[in-house]
Amino acid sequence: MRFSATLIPTLRESPADAEIASHRLLLRAGMMRQVASGIYNFLPLGLISLEKVSRIIRDEMNRAGAQEILMSVLQPRELWEESGRWEKYGPEMMRMQDRAGRDFGLGPTHEEMITDLVRQNVTSYRQLPLNLYQIAVKFRDEVRPRFGLLRGREFIMKDGYSFDRDEEAMRHSYQRMYESYSRIVERCGCEFMVVEADTGLIGGDVSHEFSVPAAVGEDKIAFCRACGYAANVERAEYGRRPLASGHDEPPEMVQTPGKRSVEEVGAFLSVPAERVVKCMIYLVEDRPVAVLVTGDREVNETKLAKVLGTDKFRLFEEKDWAAYPDYISGYVGPAGLKGVQIIGDLQLEGARDMVCGANRKDFHLVHVAYGNDFQVDRMADVSSAREGDACPRCGQPMSVVAGIEVAQIFQLRTKYSEPMHALYVDEHGQKHPFMMGTYGIGVSRLLAAVAEQHHDQRGLIWPVAVAPAHLHVIPLNMAEGAVRDAAERLYQTAGEWGLEVLIDDRDESAGVKFADADLLGIPFRAVLGKKFLAEGLVELQSRSGGEKEMLPAAGVPARVKGLLAQDSPSVTSTAGESPVWE
C-alpha cells in the first residue's frame, strides 16, 4: 500500500464529540468517518482491520464445524409476531414498510429468521447437530448511541445459532462456542474474562459474556480473585453480611420535616444508610409494587425484571404519585403500606432497628424490625453487588471492574423452536422442538475494544493480528534519490517475503510522517533517514516501544518476520476457565 495513493485522512486534532480513545483514534488515524450518530463509514485501513477480525472469527467458526451463511437484513413482521418480539423489541428495532405497506424490521438479531430457515429445511435428527453463522450488518436504534464503534446504531455482528436434538447435545455445542469465542478474543489481542450474564430480551437460562476490561466499559463485572467467580453485576449474586445491630425497642414515629432522601434522613437521625429502608414504588404494568433495599444499595432493575417476570415497569413518576395519594413521595415505608405487593431484598432478612418512611408527610418510623413491624410478599435478590461484597461461592471479598461486552452466548433451549413449531423427527418417528443456542460477537465493537486496550497518547498500537499492515516503511527525505530507491526496494522485497507493507511515499516532513505513523499504529516501522545516507542503515522500531535496531535494508524483511512470529499471541486456549484480570 502506498500512502500517497490510499485514502488515509489523518487528523491532527481530536474531533470534538469523540469522548473515548478508540473513537478518537480510529477517526484521527483516518480509519473511519461518522455518517450520523452511531453510523460509520469504514475507510481502507479501517476496513482491513475489520476484515482481519472477521477472518479470525471465520477461522475459529469453521474449525468448530459451523457453516457460514448470509441472511437478509429485512425481516418480515409476521416472523417476529410468531415469537412475540415484534411488540416486545420496542423502538430499538428499526422498522419500515415496503410500497405495499407490509411491515419489516431491520434485523437487530436473527433468532426468528434462522428458526424459520431451519424449520423449513431441516426435518430429521440425522441432520443434527447444525451450527450456522453469518457476519453481517445489524441495526439497533439505541437510546444512547455513543463511544464510536462501541455502541452504534448500525454495526457489524457475527451471529451464530446451534440446533441440537437434546439438552446434552445443546450444552456440548455451547461449550464449543465458549471455547471458540475465547480463542477469537485472545487472537485479536484482547485481555478478557468470561462472565455469567443475564439473558435479557434474547431469553433462555444459561448465558456468558466475554468482557474486555476497560475504564470506558459500560458493564460492571463482579469477580472473585480467590475462586474465579465472575458475573455481570446485573446478575452477580453476593453474600449478605449481617447489618450492624441496634436497639430492640418498639417502633416510634419521629418528625423528619423536609427530609426525604436516605442521605437526609440518615444524617438527620444519625443513622447509617444501611439502617434506612429505601422503599421504591414501581408501576409494574398497571399496578404499583414496592421494592425495598437498604439505603446503602440500589435496586437492580435487571434482577427485579427476573423476579417480576416482566420488564414492563418503571419508577413512579409525578402523575403516578398523584394517582395514588396514599403513597407519599419521600415518606413511603413498608410498615402499614396497603394495596401494594412488597418485594424485599435478601439483605432485609432479620433486619432490626431500621428507619423507614411512616407513610405520613414529614414523618419516619424508627426502631422498625422486619417480621414484627413490616412484612414482605417476597424476599428476593434485587440489589447489586459492589466492591468488597462477599463472593457467593467462596465468601472472599469480590472486586468490581468496568468491562466492554464484546460477545455473548446463550443456551436458548426451545425458547424459539417451540412457539415457532420448529421440529425434527427422531429415530422413532417422534417430533421434538430443536434445542437451540445463540452466539453473538460484535465485530466492530471488538475492533474498538482492541483499540481501547492498545493505544498511547500518540495513537494506536495495533496487535499484529488485526493491524492494517505489518510494516510501515518511512523514507524521510524523498528528495534524495538513494533514499527513495532503497525504500522502494525494501517495499518490494518485504512484500515478496509475505509482509503487508505501507510505504509513506509522500513528500512530507519527517514530523508529519512520524506523527501519522504513531497515529496509525502499524506494529513495525523501518525509517530511512540520515543514518541511511551515511552508513546505509535502516532504523527498525516496534510501535509498542523497545529498542531501535540499526540494520542494512536487505536484512529488514527477515528480521520483521521473526519479530512478527514472536508478537503473535499464542492460540492455546484458556477456554473452560475464566481468566482473571490482575
Site residues (CB under 6 A) for ligand ATP? 109, 140, 142, 151-152, 155, 157, 202, 405-408, 440-442, 444-445
Residue 226 binding target from ligand ATP, Mg ion, none, CB below 5 to 8 Å by type: none
The DSSP result for 502-528, as a single string, is: EE--S---HHHHHHHHHHHT-SEEEEE
- Least distance from Mg ion to the Cβ atom of residue 399, Å: 22
- The residue (of 219 and 345) whose beta carbon lies closer to Mg ion is 219
**Region binding Mg ion by CB under 5 A among candidate stretches 139-147, 224-232, 400-408, 574-582:** 400-408
Alpha carbon distance 476, 496 (integer Å): 23
Residue 445 binding target from Mg ion, ligand ATP, none, CB below 5 to 8 Å by type: ligand ATP
Residue 406 binding target from Mg ion, ligand ATP, none, CB below 5 to 8 Å by type: ligand ATP
Phi (first) and psi of residue 109, to 5 degrees? -175, 165
Cβ-Cβ contacts under 8 Å for 455 (sequence gap 6 or more):
21, 22, 25, 461, 521
- Least distance from ligand ATP to the Cβ atom of residue 408, Å: 4
Start-to-end CA span in the chain (Å): 39
- The residue (of 30 and 145) whose beta carbon lies closer to ligand ATP is 145
β-partners of residue 313 are 284
Residue 435 binding target from ligand ATP, Mg ion, none, CB below 5 to 8 Å by type: none
Cβ-Cβ contacts under 8 Å for 171 (sequence gap 6 or more):
411
- The residue (of 203 and 239) whose beta carbon lies closer to Mg ion is 203
Residue 407 binding target from ligand ATP, Mg ion, none, CB below 5 to 8 Å by type: ligand ATP
Residue 195 binding target from Mg ion, ligand ATP, none, CB below 5 to 8 Å by type: none
Closest CA to 581 of 404, 445, 439: 404
CB hemisphere CA count around 358 (13 angstroms):
17
CB hemisphere CA count around 64 (13 angstroms):
28
Among 359, 408, 438, 578, binds Mg ion (CB under 5 A): 408
- The residue (of 80 and 155) whose beta carbon lies closer to ligand ATP is 155
- Least distance from ligand ATP to the Cβ atom of residue 183, Å: 16
- The residue (of 80 and 125) whose beta carbon lies closer to ligand ATP is 80
Q: Which three cell numbers stand for residue 395?
A: 465468601
Q: Which three cell numbers stand for residue 204?
A: 433462555
Q: Which three cell numbers stand for residue 552?
A: 542494512
Residue 157 binding target from Mg ion, ligand ATP, none, CB below 5 to 8 Å by type: ligand ATP
- The residue (of 408 and 438) whose beta carbon lies closer to Mg ion is 408
- The residue (of 152 and 433) whose beta carbon lies closer to ligand ATP is 152
Q: Which three cell numbers stand for residue 185?
A: 478474543
**Region binding Mg ion by CB under 5 A among candidate stretches 126-134, 135-143, 270-278, 402-410:** 402-410
- Least distance from ligand ATP to the Cβ atom of residue 572, Å: 24
- Least distance from ligand ATP to the Cβ atom of residue 94, Å: 12
- The residue (of 157 and 376) whose beta carbon lies closer to ligand ATP is 157
Cβ-Cβ contacts under 8 Å for 132 (sequence gap 6 or more):
66, 67, 68, 69, 114, 117, 118, 160, 161, 163
- The residue (of 197 and 517) whose beta carbon lies closer to Mg ion is 197
For residue 135, give the DSSP letter.
Answer: E
Q: Which three cell numbers stand for residue 51?
A: 476484515
Task: Answer yes or no: are the C-beta atoms of 181 and 193 closer than 8 Å.
Answer: no
Alpha carbon distance 505, 474 (integer Å): 7
- The residue (of 142 and 166) whose beta carbon lies closer to ligand ATP is 142
- Least distance from Mg ion to the Cβ atom of residue 40, Å: 20
For Mg ion, how many residues bind (rule: CB under 5 A)? 1
Residue 69 binding target from Mg ion, ligand ATP, none, CB below 5 to 8 Å by type: none
- Least distance from ligand ATP to the Cβ atom of residue 298, Å: 18
- Least distance from ligand ATP to the Cβ atom of residue 153, Å: 7
Closest CA to 366 of 193, 246, 535, 496: 246
- Least distance from ligand ATP to the Cβ atom of residue 133, Å: 12
The CA-based dihedral angle spanning residues 27, 32, 33, 34, taken in that order and rounded to the nearest 10 degrees: -100
If phi > 0 it is left, if psi is from -120 to 50 it is alpha, else beta; for residue 281 that is beta
- Least distance from Mg ion to the Cβ atom of residue 196, Å: 12
- The residue (of 134 and 408) whose beta carbon lies closer to Mg ion is 408
Residues 336-355 that bind Mg ion (CB under 5 A): none
Strands (E), 333-398: 341-345, 354-357, 363-368, 378-380
- Least distance from ligand ATP to the Cβ atom of residue 439, Å: 9
Q: Is-cis flag, bond preceding 129, omega within 30? A: yes
- The residue (of 232 and 359) whose beta carbon lies closer to Mg ion is 232
Q: Which three cell numbers stand for residue 260?
A: 426525604
Alpha carbon distance 473, 464 (integer Å): 16
**Region binding Mg ion by CB under 5 A among candidate stretches 73-81, 406-414, 419-427, 560-568:** 406-414
Residue 503 binding target from Mg ion, ligand ATP, none, CB below 5 to 8 Å by type: none
Residue 142 binding target from Mg ion, ligand ATP, none, CB below 5 to 8 Å by type: ligand ATP
- The residue (of 149 and 290) whose beta carbon lies closer to ligand ATP is 149
Closest CA to 8 of 44, 35, 40, 34: 44
Cα dihedral across residues 37, 43, 49, 52: positive or negative: positive
- Least distance from ligand ATP to the Cβ atom of residue 53, Å: 11
Residue 280 binding target from Mg ion, ligand ATP, none, CB below 5 to 8 Å by type: none
Which residue's Cβ has the minimum distance to ligand ATP?
442
- Least distance from ligand ATP to the Cβ atom of residue 413, Å: 17
Task: Answer yes or no: are the C-beta atoms of 373 and 335 closer than 8 Å.
Answer: yes
If phi > 0 it is left, if psi is from -120 to 50 it is alpha, else beta; for residue 53 that is alpha
If phi > 0 it is left, if psi is from -120 to 50 it is alpha, else beta; for residue 346 that is alpha
Contact residues for Mg ion, defined by CB under 5 A: 408
